Amino acid sequence: MILENAPALAIGIPLFAAFAVFFFGKLGKRAMKVWVVAGLLAAEVFIIWLAMDALSGISHFYAVGAQVPGIISQAGFPVRVVLVVDAVSALVALVAMSLCLLAGLFSLRFFEKKEGGEKFYSLLLLLAAGITGLSFTGDFFTMFVFLEVISISSAGLIVFFREGEGFEAGFKYLVLLAIGALFLLFGVGIFYGKYGLLNIGAIASLVGVNASFIDFTAVALIASALLLKCGSFPVHMWKPDVYQKASGIVSAVLVASGLVGIYALFRVLFLMLANTPLSAMVGWVIAILGVFSIFVGVTMALKQTSLKRLVGYAAVAETGFVLLAFGTGLAAVTSMDIFSFRAVIGGMFQLVNDGLDLGLLFLLIAAVGFVTKKKRIGEISGLAHKSPVLAVLFLIGMFAISGMPPFNGFASKIIIYESVYMASPVFSIVGILGSVMLLAIFVKVFVAIFLGPPYKGKVEVLPKSMLLVMCIFAFFILLLGLFPKQAIEGVFLPAAKALINSQAYIGGIL
């Protein structure tokens, strides 16, 4: 009975906890923190439970409301909200919720000497509910709702610490995502006007039979909104600005919302275009956008003096690798060969790795700022003498995001290089050069911050809870890097199959 309602509980628990956190805040900081961790951990447990089922081949289709509702759409499909938990949606939800949970644990000591923790944790819990809902949603109406929840809660977190130009970054983020939401709403309105439906699977079944120009227009509008959400070229401008101005803790959580945005983009594209002649063209367009994202992200990171802005541009480049892989797979979805399918597997692997690598780097930035009270690269040097653990963790994050063996980034990127090379050698070469440049950039940063004469400023002791969270990230980075075959067979292969198998998704809903 509990497992049957687990999709709704994974969304409802953090949503309820977000509003109840103010009550527990009146009971004291300890009670509030216990409540927040319990809410995030409970949602994590339900998602793990669902993921174990989904990765073993058991998908869950949860209808919110009556099983036989009385309201029927013009197309004869019952009007209801459907949550879909298959291998790919469960994996994305698990990674995103884990980032929220770990960021929440990391922040516990951060608020010991600060006020307003209940507001921060309420926004964090709202964001966790939003990203889980967006991962599981099976209709466009709730997709729009959860995107708005994510946008508002993310903007609140960006400006929460009131640091520097955080208000400007938060306002820019909110305005741009509002424009994206308008595009999404237009696309959804076109589908509803033509089919009288909001359910993604039901619409996909009709588009696949008789696709028209108006259908492709709707898909283009929805895809544009989701590309803006994930921060790819040419709508990447908000990403480095927001990551620079937001706290490192908040940036780690924003990575989670970006990953869910990428998932939503390709869930829609693979469903709507799988049986249409435009899949190849759209796939190549996405792959080209991925190549430009890699190029722009790497070249702009070269000249940055702010560490958070540098990692923000690295995040743009990392998004490019995922778009390149999934775009290559989408281009060949109608006649999927082994190399195109491996590109999708590599994209799923890279999606998870981005959460781990970028999450670790942003939390490291927060840790360095916490112990030194400095923000810019030129203000810190020789930190390894006083904090060797941070130096080691930074090395792990640096090698992982650059795709060096034996870390997780190498395992996913080598799959992408090999599979994309069969479709376009130029794209593969750009990806390899991008990884090499990322390594050179982060080596320069590591030398500037951690090497040289001992740091002369005061260095505070890093709390054990913060160190433990970063060690958890490092553990999974090494685990996926050392055992990629097991990870691919047990996790990423089922997720890739679920993403490209549109008929299983549509059949489960219908």
pLDDT in tens, 306-353: 888 898 999 999 999 999 999 999 888 777 778 888 999 999 999 999
Residue 482 pLDDT class (50, 70, 90 cuts): very high
Between CA 34 and CA 108, with CA 102 as vertex, the angle to 5 degrees is: 45
Residue 110 pLDDT class (50, 70, 90 cuts): confident
CB neighbour list of residue 236: distance below 8 Å, 6 or more residues apart: 293, 296, 297, 316, 319
Rounded CA-CA distance 191/200 in Å is: 10
Closest CA to 273 of 358, 337, 216: 216
Per-residue pLDDT at 375:
65
Specify the DSSP class assigned to residue 462: P
Tokens of 334: 């109608």
C-alpha distance across the termini of the chain, in Å: 23
Rounded CA-CA distance 253/363 in Å is: 10
Tokens of 123: 């926004």
Tokens of 363: 């939390």
Residue 451 pLDDT class (50, 70, 90 cuts): confident
Residue 232 pLDDT class (50, 70, 90 cuts): confident
Looking up tokens 């904090």 gives 387
Rounded CA-CA distance 47/421 in Å is: 35
CB neighbour list of residue 50: distance below 8 Å, 6 or more residues apart: 3, 6, 7, 10, 60, 85, 90, 93
Question: Using a CB cutoff of 8 Å and minimum separation of 24, what contacts does 368-374 make?
Answer: 368/307, 368/449, 369/248, 370/110, 370/460, 370/462, 370/466, 371/459, 371/460, 371/461, 371/462, 372/455, 372/457, 372/458, 372/459, 372/460, 373/458, 374/457
197, 13, 117, 161 alpha-carbon torsion, rounded to 10°: -30
Q: Could you tell me whether strands 60-64 and 81-85 are parallel, antiparallel, or unpaired per DSSP bridges?
A: antiparallel
Per-residue pLDDT at 308:
85
Would you call the peptide bond into 406 cis, given omega within 30 degrees of 0 as the criterion? yes
Say yes or no to pLDDT of 169 above 80: no
H helices present in 87-138, as ranges: 87-107, 117-136
Rounded CA-CA distance 21/92 in Å is: 26
Say yes or no to pLDDT of 113 above 90: no
Element (H, E) at 63: strand 60-64
Mean of pLDDT over the chain = 86
Per-residue pLDDT at 116:
63
Looking up tokens 């000591």 gives 109
Rounded CA-CA distance 256/132 in Å is: 10
